[in-house]
Chain A
Amino acid sequence: MAVSSSGGHWTQLLRVIPAFSSFEVVFVTVLPSYSSQVPNNRFYLVNDANRWNKLRLVTLAFKLAWIMGKERPAVVVSTGAAPGYFALLLGRLFGAKTIWIDSVTNIERLSMSGSLVGRYADLWLTQWPHLAKPAGPRYGGAVL
């Protein structure tokens, strides 16, 4: 299950999907028009949210839980932001292996969602070598 919010998060998510060629990939994102870019995959919509709107965060978490229960993914991967945060926590709860790839835009410090959820990811990646730490995240290449 590949999860992200819109814009650069989604663009970067699409760029890592070739690594999952041996899996059936299901997408969860926030804009209906994005389904046109992945016409052969199952596609779910959730609302985006941020830490300043608690109600939207709760709605997002419930929608993701429902999707997660239905799909029972083996792996959950996200490039951020809020939808990925909840997807990783829920993925862990549902027994999926979890991958967090912090956005390449976060050069000086990790994203807020990434720094909160990264330690719960089985594979926690930053795209900048200088942000890697022994306790995670690790650096393993970039999306460009």
Chain B
Amino acid sequence: MIFVTVGSQEPFDRLIRAVDEWAAASARADVFAQIASGTYRPEHVKFTGFLDPPEFQRLIRDAKIIVAHAGMGSIIAALELGKPIVVMPRLARFRETRNDHQVAAAKHFGAQGRIIVADDEQQLPAKLDYALTLNERDRIDTQASPELLATIRAFLDDDSQKLPSSTSVNQLPANTVEG
């Protein structure tokens, strides 16, 4: 099974149309797409608008490859389950997003070899064919890097030391007046 997702917010008809055409050309009947409020209705791909997290997780788990916009929700979900993922970035010039942050993210994670990037519809078919030759990879941890968690914990610890003293300073005059 191949799972296609455009994420939780905006439609991405350009991706759905390209996958639909690829599914027809390669005679694949096992493609399922989440298309948000997209108006393009694929003919060779089964689809739904939105998915609850448990359904989304199940589809990622069952899929051989994931095809998605270059959104971090989709990318992280695929990496957490070790699935090959092909992404096509949304482009601001087609009003698919407000800026081209997805292009930069795709380029970066693509260069790291963690995802496969199709810049546009023309590149997509070959990338899909390639991704289907790949096996599952090691799953990434389901939590942030130890460094980021340590940064936050250090801030919170620091804070809990400061809070009581600043609180007592603020409360002292009031208590004194009442007393």
Contact = CB atoms under 8 A, between A and B. Distances in A.
Q: How large is the interface on B (under 10, 10 to 19, 20 to 34, 35 or more residues)?
A: 35 or more
Interface string A92-130: 000001010101111110000000000000110101000
B156 A19 contact: yes
B173 interface: no
A141 B8 contact: no
Interface in B86-100: 98
A18 B144 contact: yes
A92 B41 CA distance: 46
A33 B52 contact: yes
Given A105-B105, A108-B101, A141-B148, A19 B153 contact: yes
B102 A105 contact: yes
Interface stretch (B25-33, B71-79, B124-132): B71-79
B26 to A, nearest CB: 29
A10 interface: yes
B143 A103 contact: no
In this complex, which of A34, A77, A105, A106 has the most chain B Cβ atoms within 10 angstroms of its Cβ? A105
B133 interface: no
Contact of A12 (B52, B76, B155): B76
Contact of A123 (B71, B98, B149, B152): B152
B54 interface: yes
Interface in B1-52: 7-9, 52
Given A105-B71, A123-B155, A8 B76 contact: yes
B155 to A, nearest CB: 5
Contact of A16 (B101, B105, B140, B152): B152
A98 B108 CA distance: 29
A140 B54 contact: no
Interface string B139-166: 0111111111111110110010001000
A40 interface: no
B165 to A, nearest CB: 14
A142 interface: yes
A11 B105 contact: no
A108 B148 CA distance: 20
B149 A122 contact: no
Nearest to B69: A7
Contacts of B148: 16, 19, 101, 125, 127, 140-143
B144 A15 contact: yes
Interface in A41-99: 50, 74-75, 77, 97, 99
A11 B18 CA distance: 27
Contacts of B149: 16, 18-19, 141
14 contacts: A8-B71, A8-B74, A10-B73, A11-B72, A15-B144, A19-B152, A97-B163, A104-B105, A105-B71, A123-B152, A123-B155, A125-B148, A140-B152, A141-B149
Interface of B: 7-9, 52-54, 71-77, 79, 98, 101-102, 104-105, 108, 140-153, 155-156, 159, 163
